[in-house]
Amino acid sequence: MEKEHLYQYIVGIADNNLVLGQRLGELCGHGPSLETDIALTNIALDLFGQTRSYYQYAAQLSAQHQTEDDVAFLRKEREYRNVLLVEQPNTHFGHVIARQFLFDVFHYLFLEQLLHSKDDTLAAIAAKAIKEVSYHKRFSSDWVKRLGDGTEESHQKMQEGISNLWRYTNELFEMTAYENEAVKAGIGIALSELKQNYYKEVNHILEEATLSVPESPYFQKGGKEGIHTEHMGYLLADLQYMQRTYPNMNW
């Protein structure tokens, strides 16, 4: 597999973690309780740590001699390949948990397969990350059940979050040209093969939580091709502010 194509594949994986980590970082100090606030912040830090590993590897492959900071902070909106799900804004707590849950189930299934990648570096990143993501999935799944099968208000908020975000789930399994090439090389994951287990597990948790599975005939996509929602530009304005304002800044 060509270096440039592998670079694009790795960045596509990492961008999901970066953007979701940024969203969770926005909540620091705003959680419904101290324990939950700290948990969400720690999940954000886990995601950023995984992102660093991916970006460091991608930077080694870059023809432009980039650093991990260049990859993270100096791209334009259309150059980010994250799915639309992770860029959705924080609203109420049920919405935050729904977004986390819907991504966590996918993330864990993805890393389970990435462990067997022919690319030793990606397999090693997956081996470390899956331990963290196992906790992420348990945390978000428990909260889905707690809120869904809780009070009338918590049930309503949890259902609202799932229903609003459901339209973004199918994009998790859309394949880009770089992903198809990575699969052919034995490096990447055939995402379509994860789809059945994903919806089976998600539906099981929703059933336990007494929540309804949304019946959506239409799913939104575009993020993996660089076509994002209106929220992405605002997110990047915050994320990239320091690097854009003080070019070549080093800590």
Q: Which are the contacts of 51, defined by CB distance < 8 A and separation ≥ 6? A: 14, 17, 18, 21, 72
Q: What pLDDT, on the 0 to 100 scale, is given for residue 243? A: 87
Whole-prediction pTM: 0.95
> CA 60, CA 87: separation in Å to the nearest integer?
27
Q: Are 50 and 132 in contact (CB under 8 A)?
A: yes
Write out residues in the chain with pLDDT < 50, as ranges. Answer: none
Q: What pLDDT, on the 0 to 100 scale, is given for residue 63? A: 78
In the chain the domains, ranked by start, together with CATH numbers, are 3-212+221-245 (1.20.1260.10)
Q: What pLDDT, on the 0 to 100 scale, is given for residue 203? A: 97
Q: What pLDDT, on the 0 to 100 scale, is given for residue 152? A: 96
Q: What pLDDT, on the 0 to 100 scale, is given for residue 155? A: 98
Q: What pLDDT, on the 0 to 100 scale, is given for residue 250? A: 67
Tens-digit pLDDT profile for residues 140-173: 999 999 999 999 999 999 999 999 999 999 999 9
Q: What pLDDT, on the 0 to 100 scale, is given for residue 187? A: 97
